[in-house]
């Protein structure tokens, strides 16, 4: 999922397509969030994203409140909040991404290996896409720390590899970024995540093509 910002301040790249390979079976409430998120992202017109995602953030918060010890509930609330931030694309996005960071951190505290540590991927991505202080909380060192952990826990994960590629691209390490984009493209399919997988592969392909242009 690529976040298109209306202001350069929040030029987040790709945060909207946050999907992952699960470690254990998630419950029906979380599966429903995954399904609705994918439908909004990949089937609705972009003009409908903000309103639809705002409603989904409220639903995610309700599920998280009803499952206070479920790391996946916090994980998906964080994912949806970051997606919503991308749809907003203005200074209002800072509140949403801050809440996303906080819920992802809570997910890791509850279970650092939930969904194979997927929260590390999204925290790392937030830290390198959000502006640094005094505007935001961006931190490239923390971004690398979380992304390294994500790759260590789930080396074949499509999101972990794609966002590590984005991180390396931001640092102008294009040859290294190419490796991770190719790994994202070859990542295994996920059961019942066909829509999200197709979107992620398309973005991986687009990113790889742009990197190859730079390298050539």
Q: What pLDDT shows up at residue 125?
A: 95
Question: Could you give the angle at which helices 174-185 and 158-170 cross, rounded to 10 degrees?
Answer: 160
Instruction: Identify which of 112, 111, 149, 109 has the alpha carbon closest to the alpha carbon of residue 127.
Output: 149
Q: Calculate the CA dihedral of residues 206, 39, 11, 88 and round it to 10 degrees.
A: 160
Q: What CA–CA distance (Å, rounded) separates 140 from 164?
A: 12
Q: Calculate the CA dihedral of residues 103, 109, 111, 113 and round it to 10 degrees.
A: 90
> What is this structure's pTM?
0.84
Q: What is the mean pLDDT of residues 20-27?
A: 54
Q: Given a cut of 90, is residue 105 above it in pLDDT?
A: yes
Domains of the chain, start order: 8-156 (1.25.40.10)
Render pLDDT for 159-181 as a digit per residue (tens, 0 to 9): 999 999 999 999 999 999 999 99
By the 10 Å C-beta count (0-12 exposed, 13-18 middle, 19+ buried), 2 is classed as middle
Residue 18 backbone dihedrals phi, psi, to 5 degrees: -100, 105
Q: What pLDDT shows up at residue 181?
A: 97
Residue 132 backbone dihedrals phi, psi, to 5 degrees: -75, 170
Q: What CA–CA distance (Å, rounded) separates 153 from 56?
A: 29
């Amino acid at each position: 999922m690529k976040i298109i910002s209306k202001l350069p301040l929040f030029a987040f790249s790709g945060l909207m397509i946050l999907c992952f390979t699960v470690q254990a079976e998630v419950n029906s409430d979380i599966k429903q969030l995954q399904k609705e998120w994918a439908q909004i992202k990949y089937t609705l017109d972009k003009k409908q994203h903000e309103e639809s995602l705002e409603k989904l953030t409220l639903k995610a918060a309700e599920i998280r409140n009803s499952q206070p010890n479920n790391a996946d509930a916090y994980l998906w609330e964080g994912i949806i909040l970051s997606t919503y931030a991308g749809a907003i694309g203005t200074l209002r996005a800072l509140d949403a991404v801050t809440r996303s960071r906080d819920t992802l951190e809570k997910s890791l505290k509850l279970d650092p290996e939930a969904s194979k540590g997927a929260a590390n991927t999204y925290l790392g991505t937030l830290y390198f896409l959000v502006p640094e202080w005094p505007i935001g909380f961006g931190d490239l060192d923390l971004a690398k720390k979380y992304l390294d952990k994500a790759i260590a826990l789930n080396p074949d994960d499509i999101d972990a590899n794609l966002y590590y590629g984005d991180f390396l691209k931001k640092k102008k390490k294009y040859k290294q970024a190419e490796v991770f984009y190719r790994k994202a493209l070859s990542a295994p399919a996920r059961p019942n995540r066909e829509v999200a997988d197709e979107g992620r592969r398309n973005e991986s392909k687009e990113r790889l093509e742009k990197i190859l242009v730079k390298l050539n």
